[in-house]
Structure 1
């Protein structure tokens, strides 16, 4: 359920951003924007959020998501539209998605990835070990029964 919620948040935010940039500013059709959002959302969630973010940090995952978004927006846009240059619309859209992804990765890490890895809750770097010393560590032979018996026999 956590993955579905995260994918839904990502899809809605990405669709709103891509619709504003691609459809309103660059006159791309609704279906094309919807398809681009679907492909970019699912691929960047699987690659950027689940794979790269869980193995590295937020910055690396954001840079990977920007590159992946740029590639998919440029490629799908050039295949499905007849407009000339899609470099600047793809670049603006990818940077906007990157800004959103920077904050979205914090949500994914705390609510999706961190909840799956319960064993990571305890950080071994912050444990404070303390030795315990007590009187039992140095035996007192005078109070032991077998010591008293041996002493009386002699």
Structure 2
């Protein structure tokens, strides 16, 4: 239920951006733009927002979203249309989607889909990355020795103390 609003926002923005860039400037049909938008929204939400953004920061996730958007738009437009110059159309469409993705990653609250509530993990602000805190334990015993492997000298020293 908490994923519906981010998915809806992402779909509307992607559909609008691709409708302008691909539909108006490159004469793609509304059906082609709709299919590309649905698939791009689903794949980018799962791969970009859940897998990459959780493990990296916003810049890395946005760069991955650009590559993903470019490849997906180019492959789908190659199969759906008979247009020429699909590389430049895919590049500009991916650039427009990437600009939205950068803002989307910063606007959507982290509690909606990026918080990690595992024990020992802590949320680190706007980066979307969770880091573990490691602590060192120290003790007085540097070399633990079991009583059955002590030498006679160790046993005598222990009795004298």
2:112 paired with 1:112: yes
Report the counterpart of residue 47 of structure 2 in structure 1: 47
Larger radius of gyration: 1
SS at match of 1:79: helix
Unpaired runs of 5+ residues, structure 2, are 125-130, 134-161
Q: How many residues align?
A: 125
How much has 1:111 moved relative to structure 2?
3.5
Aligned to 1:35: 35
- Per-residue Cα deviation, 1:52-77 (whole angstroms, up to 9, x for no partner): 00011001100000000000111100
Change (3 A) 1:103 1:84: same
SS for the counterpart of 1:2 is coil
TM-score normalised to structure 2 length: 0.71
Q: Which runs of 5+ in 1 are unaligned?
A: 126-154
Compared CA separation, residues 118 and 89, structure 1 to 2 (3 A): same
Q: TM-score, normalised by structure 1?
A: 0.74
Q: Which runs of 4+ in 1 moved over 4 A?
A: 121-125
Shift of residue 117, structure 1, vs aligned partner: 2.9
Q: Is the CA contact (8 Å cut-off) linking 2:19 and 2:33 kept in structure 1? A: yes
Aligned-partner SS, 1:6: helix
Structure 1 residues 26, 55: closer, same or farther in 2, change over 3 A?
same
Distance in 1 between residues matched to 2:114 and 2:76, nearest whole Å: 33
